[in-house]
Amino acid sequence: MTTTTENLWPDFALDTEIRGPKTILTEQASFLANGTKNLLTADVIVSPYGNDGGLSYRFEIVASNLNGYKYTLFRIFQGEIFYYPCNFSISNKSFLINSEEELLQTLKGVFSDAETIKIITSLIAQSKENATSTLG
Amino acid sequence: MQSLNFLFWNTNRKPLIKEIANIAKHNNIDVILLAEHNLNDVDLLLELNSESADYHLPNPIFQSNRIKVFTKFSNNFIIPVADESENRFTCFKIKFPIIEELLVFGVHLPDNRNNQNVSIGSHAGRIARRIKELEKEQNLTNTIVVGDFNMNPSDVGMVDAESFHAIMDSEIAKKESRMVSSKEYDYFYNPMWSLHGDIGNNVAGSYFYKNAELVNYHWNVFDQVLLRPSLIDNFEKDSLKLLDSDGKKSLLKKGGLPNEKYSDHLPLIFTLNLDLK
């Protein structure tokens, strides 16, 4: 005997395009590499956070020519299941991000902040200074 | 299939940044290996990336002064394996998620003006044994060996089964190995035999040297690439070239010999079409 119950699920929007921190940060890492001609690159390191299935995203600037020196610019902490709200942590400051739009705005502010520009400029200058004319 | 275009050039300690970048752009090179280099890494990177951001600095783990490696791939995909200056090679893996792994050796053997041919052959034997050991360690036989061997393809150090055991016939090399006195010897395929001489080639070799000795080859093919049998079908034979131009200007002088203003060696390019996993 077969029992057929009606489908109780609503229709789901499969074409949803909510972009999480990892996608956005990876794109921004690629823009940094392009903008510095790969003198500087950035890694997005994802690791578990807390005991409830949360995730931590670390945005690391990498200077290959400084023996692969890595500088963590900021971190994002995401709770279980949902991308947003998430927690954005830079230097000693920490604040809540409620949506993709807020994250983009925050990143724009961080990237054009005088302190960040100073760090990037310094890493570029040191990478150039550290370039050796080795004889093979 | 994923195509990988390689360039090897012994730049004779000339700061050939423009010329390297021209060749790389003109031939869509993915992996650049340089011997006898005298260049500033950042200057070359900026020239390579003048119209894009395709190329990356050498992996900081590479310490070799003999061979400099620039690629279009981030350091996540270029894995240093061994960097043995005393053995005159550097070795790395190209490891992408979707294609077969590749083991690449960049070599530069001692020059033949200060070393007898038999001595270079002894070095070759030592390098060949290390290659075999590293292939075993890495459990990989997708191996290419590229560089300035300071030997011609027909020299004993290239052909000797106790050395590179590199032969000119890809069909025979595909048999993978042969037995000699109860010992098994793996083959390399050496396509460079086809580039020694002027029939069908733009130049008769990669390096020209003429002196008053009775035996003098004039043109030599010191710059070579060897492939293990597992890569023969991936090797695009028509792609193998000794370049006489950087794409913008000739690297030859009047009479068709290498112009020492650039390098006394000509650049070598080739393509591998790698299988998807």
Per-residue pLDDT 10s for chain B (277 aa) are 889 999 999 999 999 999 999 999 999 999 999 999 888 889 999 999 999 899 998 876 777 678 999 999 988 899 999 988 777 999 999 998 888 899 999 999 999 889 999 999 999 999 999 999 999 999 999 999 999 999 999 999 999 999 999 999 999 999 999 999 999 999 999 999 999 999 999 999 999 999 998 999 999 999 999 999 999 999 999 999 999 999 999 999 999 999 999 999 999 999 999 877 7
Task: Give the chain A residue whose CA is nearest to the CA of B47.
Answer: A37
Q: What is the pLDDT of residue B265?
A: 98
pLDDT surpassing 60 at residue A135: no
Output the pLDDT for position B31. 97
Count of CB contacts below 8 A, A vs B?
Answer: 68
Which residues are within 8 A (CB) of B109 and not within 5 positions of it... i.e. 6 or more apart? B88, B120, B123, B124, B127, B147, B148, B149, B150, B151
Place of tokens 């970048």: B21
The gap from C-alpha B163 to its chain's centroid, in whole angstroms, comes to: 17
In eight-state DSSP terms, residue A6 is -
ipTM of the complex: 0.76
**Under 8 Å between Cβ of B197 and B155:** no
Provide the pLDDT for residue B113: 85
| Angle CA B25–B199–B19, to nearest 5 | 20
Percent of chain A topping pLDDT 90: 68
Where does the pLDDT of residue A1 fall: very low under 50, low under 70, confident under 90, or very high at 90 and above? low
Whether pLDDT at A136 is above 80: no
Cβ within 8 Å, pair B37-A134: yes
pLDDT, mean over chain A: 90
Residue from the list A38, A127, A136 with its beta carbon closest to the beta carbon of B65 = A136
Q: A106 touching B, CB under 8 A?
A: no
Catalogue the E-assigned strands of B109-165: 143-148
* Rounded (5°) CA angle A86-A91-A96: 20
Tell me if A67 and B40 make a contact (CB, 8 A cut-off): no
Is A81's Cβ below 8 Å from some Cβ in B? no
Q: Which amino acid is at A90?
A: I
CB of B104 closer than 8 Å to CB of B31: yes
B59 touches chain A (CB under 8 A): yes
| Helix or strand holding residue B42 (H, E) | helix B41-48
> What was the pLDDT predicted at B149?
97
CB neighbourhood size of B264 (10 A) = 17
Mean pLDDT computed over A123-127:
93
Confidence of residue A133 (pLDDT cuts 50, 70, 90): low
Share of chain A above pLDDT 70, in %: 95
- pLDDT, tens digit, for every residue of A3-56? 789 999 998 888 877 889 999 999 999 999 999 999 999 999 999 988 888 999
